[in-house]
Amino acid sequence: MARTARDDDLAYVGAGMGADLDAVLVLNLLRTHSYLSPFIDAGLRQRHLTAAQFNALLVLRAAGDEGLLMGEIGKRLVVTRSNVTGLVDRLERQGLVARCSHRDRRATVVRLTDAGAKTLKRTLPQHARLLAELTGCLGTKDKQTLIRLLTKLRRELRRRKGDA
């Protein structure tokens, strides 16, 4: 199949930005996210979840019975305090998480409920199949390389932000 100018991101960006490799890289990251998101969102919508809610459930599952402070959820999801509050409110209304008191009465711990764990258990296989389908054009080595490089970039960005 012949490549088109649209397929060649360097040419596509070059028309407006010049052949700046850094700009092409960042544009590719943003464009890839914009193409992935609708597929992921549609798959999760079938389970009555948003991507943010799904990620919050995953973070809380990883935290175990201890749960997480609201602020820690925000750090792990990279969202603001007000976003975490709204997110937890919606998950709590669905019975997927529960707020619990903390020894510091100013803090609130959030834990995954049994219903939340069951929702994840039902959602994860379908989600994994979707992700495998979406990334099927990449081989194992390509995926490992991409993960390593994106992790390296994210660590540097966190370091610059001061969250290292």
Answer for the pair 60, 111: CB distance below 8 angstroms, yes or no.
yes
Burial zone of 130 (CB within 10 Å; 0-12 exposed, 13-18 middle, 19+ buried): middle
For the chain, the domains span 1-45, 46-161
Helix axes 70-77, 81-93, angle to 10 degrees: 110
Q: How far apart are CA 36 and CA 42, in angstroms?
A: 10
Per-residue pLDDT of the chain (164 residues; tens, 9 = 90+): 455 555 565 565 556 656 688 888 899 999 999 999 999 999 999 999 999 999 999 999 999 999 999 888 988 887 777 788 999 999 999 999 999 877 777 778 999 999 999 999 999 999 999 999 999 999 999 999 999 999 999 999 989 988 65
- DSSP string for residues in 38-93: HHHHHHHHTTT--HHHHHHHHHHHHHGGG-EEHHHHHHHHT--HHHHHHHHHHHHH
pTM of model > 0.95: no
Look up residue 19 and give its two tokens. Answer: 């052949």
- pLDDT of 24: 86
pLDDT (tens digit, 9 = 90+) per residue, 37-57?
A: 999 999 999 999 999 999 999
Answer for the pair 41, 50: CB distance below 8 angstroms, yes or no.
yes
Look up residue 59 and give its two tokens. Answer: 């973070």
Task: Find, among 124, 122, 127, 67, the residue nearest to 97 by Cα.
Answer: 67
| CATH annotation of 46-161 | 1.10.10.10
